Amino acid sequence: MSMKIRLARGGSKKRPHYSIVASDSRMPRDGRFIEKLGTYNPLLAKDSEDRVKMNLERVQYWLSQGAQPTDRIARMLEAAGIAAKKTRNNPKQAEPGKKAKARAEEKAKKAAAATAE
């Protein structure tokens, strides 16, 4: 059975509240889980202590049992000092889209035509 440490959404519409859970990867996001490991409230300020609460001993236990954290949980574990920081590389993130590139080319052509005259 492949285990995941992930977020299970709760709360009402536009007022999310998440539980950090250990569950079988085949279960649905808000479905059955094995153990609740903590909570995450994204509506609180980023420097608030109540934003992320985790039972670190149980998280360590599940990681030792082979549970894989999701991307968001991995970032939370890095912030808590449990997991080693991973280097991330997204070279396309800063690249403008097709329309923005086309506008920039048009603008460059107009500027070149204006300087040529």
Residue 8 or residue 97, greater confidence: 8
The string of pLDDT tens digits covering residues 41-87 is 999 998 998 999 999 999 999 999 999 999 999 999 998 888 888 88
Count CB neighbours of 76 within 10 A. 22
pLDDT given at position 67: 92
Which CATH number goes with the domain that contains 34?
A: 3.30.1320.10
Report the domain count for the chain: 1
pTM over 0.75: no
Give the structural domain span for 9: 3-80
CA distance 62 to 42: 24
- Is 64 a member of any domain? yes
Q: Answer whether 36's CB lies under 8 Å from 100's CB.
A: no
Q: What are the distances in angstroms from CA 75 to CA 27, 72, 83, 87, 117? A: 22, 5, 8, 11, 55
Side chain identity at 4, as an amino acid letter? K
